Amino acid sequence: MDCTIVKIGGSIIDSPEQLQRFLQDFASISGAKILVHGGGVMASRLQKALGQQPVMVDGRRVTDEQALKAVVMVYAGWCGKNIVAGLQSLGCSAIGVSGADADLIRAVRRAPVPVDYGYVGDITPESINTDFLTLLLRAGITPVFCAVTHDGCGQLLNTNADTVASCLAAALAQTGHISLTYCFEKDGVLYDKDDDSSVIPEISSGMYRSLRSEGRIAAGMIPKLDNAFAALRNGVSEITVTHARSLLSGKGTKIIL
């Protein structure tokens, strides 16, 4: 079935005003839709309030038992349920889910070498339970995914939200036209990462390889773009990287093969 998938990043979620504006735009999208959200800024803040020191390696959280607890409480708890309550108030009937719920995303815990990331799960498009996902979408319910999965043996796992979005998109691409938008706090992929106005309107995989080898792509953008190209190769129809306020405008960077 045709579906619009939107990923919203942690720093937008952290601002009640920006989140509210974004949810209004998201709720107005017609047809089947899915929201995937981060929450890393809040999770780090909770870790600090509990006396933990967040540890990141290559922009990814090292998730020991205490970090996992903070991540699950923030992502699946406070962020997810507030987003759902907000969408309900806007007439969009949403349901907040992790990958454990209805076995929607079953992950494989990452091997502890070369870096031991702890309770972190890796997924592929085959990890997605598309049967239950389409049952929800056909019932007019909007799934709101947090970046928590499970291993099928009772263990919750922290999984990158960009990857969740791209795997959902790739899994559903077998069934219809899928549009995937990554919303964050920049206007798109930047040619000069220090110049917010240098948005690249369209980026191909060849252009991406060149820009990356020149060190022009911001570190945080690399996994997002790797995910985006993987999703395109898996049949996703259109992918855009844009600012959260531009969700409906068509502005931003189009990702093409």
Structure token digits, residue 175: 């069934």
Q: What are phi and psi of 24, to 5 degrees?
A: -60, -45
Q: CA 195, CA 177: separation in Å to the nearest integer?
A: 34
Among 35, 67, 74, 199, the residue binding its own copies under the rule CB under 8 A is: 74
The residue (of 164 and 173) whose beta carbon lies closer to its own copies is 164
The residue (of 107 and 247) whose beta carbon lies closer to its own copies is 107
Shortest Cβ distance from residue 40 to its own copies (Å)? 15
Name the nearest CA neighbour of 221 among 9, 64, 1, 2: 9
Q: Return the bridge partners of 5, or none.
A: 34, 180
The residue (of 39 and 252) whose beta carbon lies closer to its own copies is 39
Burial class (CB in 10 A: 0-12, 13-18, 19+), 168: buried
Q: Which of residues 135-154 bind its own copies (CB under 8 A)?
A: 135, 139, 141, 148, 150, 152-154
Q: Which residues 6+ apart lie within 8 Å of 42 measured at CB?
A: 10, 13, 14, 74, 78, 79
Q: Which of residues 96-115 bind its own copies (CB under 8 A)?
A: 96-98, 100-103
- Total residues contacting its own copies by CB under 8 A comes to 40
128 binds its own copies (CB under 8 A): no
Candidates 87-95, 175-183, 198-206, 223-231: pick the segment binding its own copies (CB under 8 A).
87-95
Among 27, 107, 123, 156, the residue binding its own copies under the rule CB under 8 A is: 156
Q: CA 130, CA 113: separation in Å to the nearest integer?
A: 31
Which secondary structure element, helix H or strand E, spans residue 80, and what is its range?
helix 80-89
Candidates 74-82, 172-180, 191-199, 224-232: pick the segment binding its own copies (CB under 8 A).
74-82
Residues of this chain that interact with its own copies (CB under 8 A) are 46, 49-50, 69, 72-78, 80-82, 84-86, 88-89, 93-98, 100-103, 132, 135, 139, 141, 148, 150, 152-156
